[in-house]
Structure 1
């Protein structure tokens, strides 16, 4: 038995886009440790990617922007589980979903468009609540639900714009989910909050590359955080080994938050 003790356990992973996705890295770790992964992706194109990357995994399609799709995919996965026998449950769910519309370029935060903000809240935050609600009867008594946040929602990074307040809402939501689920189960809700990662999604954020290179200098080891490092933390939170952790946002930034006054950064800034 591996340390994580996830052999034979079943996990639904929402959000795989390609091989660079955090969702992909989490799924790889779970599979390597003997777990079964069921993927839920946004589109037929991503379905093809998921099947290529995980040929032994079931893949379902769901655009979480429409809540009816979440209900539909819940029914499809429930039917899949029922075919295996009575009382087959899910041991965990990964919510690795975020979206922001930067099609009009960067705007000062106070110029954020209401439609863009509400759409991002719906997809990036409320979908987490909705998935928890609609999948609650499919979860094992001590299942674990993990979402992906960011290392800080208090740093006013101009190129991240309105997504930080939305991630703050996500962080708060997991606490309320943990409390409300405690009335009828021992399901845990936690978040992994990585520093800057090299993913396809992040590449679409204006100015992200420069921020990523800065983060690499600010990390004490002078080496960027890897997607696998964040994913391994998520896998731990999904496992029974983290049974004492609930309603927490775990920062995974390789120590960047303590090193903003690194002498090399100061020297390069003030000359």
Structure 2
């Protein structure tokens, strides 16, 4: 009896976004390899490739800086020329925001910062999909890493909130666009909506530690996500076992999105306030 439940053994996947051992992309790639898949790595620069020599020793590694127009097309051509096609899946785990000047009100967002971030973090998915379209297997799966809620407005996330919304919308429109072509009708695009994670990228967000600890209190289990839990969900979406899921966000947040009225959080938030009805001081009277 076959034990290859995910049916990805022997298939080829391109993973964008490995920065170090803490990266979501690395956890996804490692899990794919554990399941017998072949992973092709795309990193942003020669310097990044050099820093990953030990981690990615003996693995196929290519360079693609998605900030530069045409880079994904060149990458796709290089990968195909190296004999790695067809590609059965793509992982898009790329994001960047310039927080070098610290936190600012959203209305003070600089045009250059916003356009740079949206190019790298969202539009890159469109360019990558277009570049690899002719090299994809007929039932390929493309997965991008988003956030668990596009409705929240954390002060320290700033303009990346709207950019993640753009990424999620782009994924759905790509699913619709590819479905119009008979050759790519079965290709799927999905988003993993991840809750707060302990990654190097997250550490670059101002004030992230406090937000991370607060989110942990909101999870139903009182324990934040492990990066591997997000990776496991992504690998499932990449597999044929998720063939019926398309243009969808799979939210992975340990329940925090529905637990705003957690008793512990309410108690902590109201601690400075007098009890309702005490001494006529209640603001509800």
TM-score scaled by length of structure 2: 0.91
The answer for the alignment partner of 1:37 in structure 2 is: 39
- 2:280 matched residue in structure 1: none
Structure 2 CA distance for aligned equivalents of residues 53 and 171 of structure 1: 30
Supply the distance in 2 between the matched residues of 1:247 and 1:56 (Cα, whole angstroms).
35
- 1:1-150 matches, within 5 Å, as 1-81=3-83, 88-150=85-147
Give, in whole Å, the separation in 1 of the partners of 2:59 and 2:240. 22
CA contact (8 A) 1:44 1:61 kept: yes
Deviation at 1:158, TM superposition (A): 0.5
Aligned-residue offset at 1:67 = 1.9
Residue in 1 aligned with 2:262?
Answer: 262
| 1:57 Cα deviation from its structure 2 partner | 1.8
Per-residue CA distance 1:170-195 (angstroms, 9 max, x = gap): 11111110111012211100010100
State the match for 2:161 in structure 1.
Answer: 164
Between the aligned partners of 1:204 and 1:131, the Cα distance in structure 2 is 25
Q: Once the 2 structures are TM-superposed, how far is the Cα of residue 33 of structure 1 from its aligned partner?
A: 0.6
1:49 positional shift: 4.1
Structure 2 residues without counterparts, runs of 5 or longer: 272-285
The 3-state SS of whatever aligns with 1:4 is coil
TM-score normalised by the chain length of structure 1? 0.96
Answer with 66-75 or 24-33: which moved more. Answer: 66-75
Separation (CA, whole Å) in 2 of partners of 1:50 and 1:73 = 19
Task: Report if aligned partners of 1:178, 1:189 keep a CA contact under 8 Å in 2.
Answer: yes
| Separation (CA, whole Å) in 2 of partners of 1:245 and 1:56 | 34
Task: Please tell me whether the aligned partners of residues 36 and 57 of structure 1 are also in contact (alpha carbons under 8 angstroms).
Answer: no
1:203 alignment partner in structure 2 = 203
SS of 2:82's partner is helix
Q: 1:174 aligns with which of 154, 171, 175?
A: 171
Describe the superposition over 1:199-228 as per-residue Cα deviations: whole angstroms up to 9, x where unpaired: 000000000000000011110101111110
Give the Cα separation in 2 of the matches to 1:9 and 1:239.
10
Q: Larger deviation: 18-27 or 182-191?
A: 182-191
Give, in whole Å, the separation in 2 of the partners of 1:244 and 1:68.
32
Q: How many residues align?
A: 266
Cα contact 1:197–1:226 (8 A) shared by 2: yes
Rounded to whole Å, the distance in 2 between the matches of 1:103 and 1:227 is 26
Q: Distance in 2 between matches of 1:136 and 1:50?
A: 28
Residue of structure 2 equivalent to 1:192: 192
**Contiguous gaps of at least 5 residues in structure 1:** 83-87
Q: Distance in 1 between matches of 2:53 and 2:5?
A: 28
- Residues in 2 aligned to 1:225 and 1:137: alpha-carbon distance in whole angstroms: 36
**Structure-2 separation of matches of 1:14 and 1:229:** 18
For the residue of structure 1 that corresponds to 2:83, the secondary structure is helix
Tell me the equivalent position of 1:85: none
Bigger Rg over Cα: 2
